[in-house]
Amino acid sequence: MTEDLKKTGTTILGMVCKDGVVVATEHRATMGTLIAHKETKKLYKIDDHLALCTAGLVGDLQVLSRYLSAEVNLYRLKRDTKMPVNSAATLMSNILNQRKFYPYYVQLILAGWDSEGGHVYSLDAAGGAIPDKYTAGGSGSPYVFGVLEDQYKDDLTVDEGVDLAARAINAAMGRDSASGNGAAIAVINEKEFRTISEDEIKTRLEKMGK
């Protein structure tokens, strides 16, 4: 693997709220100590009800997001219905597992909303897919987990979840040198896939004194 491909170091998170799911990332991509890119896309809209947050090797992440998006769209066209979130997680798990001896260098969070409610899955490079109420990944994940372990609750609303995600990503950017350059946050519920603007994120952080 050539050194110029090692654009790793990230913070990603996903959480289930009572009225939707919240996913978040930041924008920085690094090569060792070099900040290689400041506007890296790490949060992908796979379908109107499904998002993929990505940490790891940029090329692998982009390929996997295209694979999943294509399969989810084919599922919708063939069956005239959305792919359930657990099916999408299983599909991505199988794709990753097929390459476990020459793996994709990734850590993923798949999140979405379907007829059974909100779901968040953590996926590793060998194809493990673990559902949870909240999870985090990437180099900034220890700081995110510190915030989520302290403040997450089962009856969290989406509005509260966005505040919590902004706080957690901000904590990671403050301590992890591979994370930074602003946050990307999205909300998924039964009605919409909504991206939170950077101005709104800044306003929320200011209200929290961050």
* 10 a catalytic residue: yes
State how many domains the chain has. Answer: 1
53-92 tens-digit pLDDT: 999 998 999 999 999 999 999 999 999 999 999 999 999 9
In this prediction, residue 97 has a pLDDT band, given cuts at 50, 70 and 90, of very high
Full domain range(s) for residue 21: 3-207
181-190 tens-digit pLDDT: 999 999 999 9
17-36 tens-digit pLDDT: 999 999 999 999 888 888 98
Which entry of 10, 11, 25, 40 is annotated as an active-site residue? Answer: 10
pLDDT of 1 above 60: no
119-165 tens-digit pLDDT: 999 999 999 999 999 999 999 999 999 999 999 999 999 999 999 99
Query: What local confidence, expressed as pLDDT, does residue 8 receive?
Result: 55
Amino acid identity, position 174? G
Q: What is the CATH number of the domain that holds 11?
A: 3.60.20.10
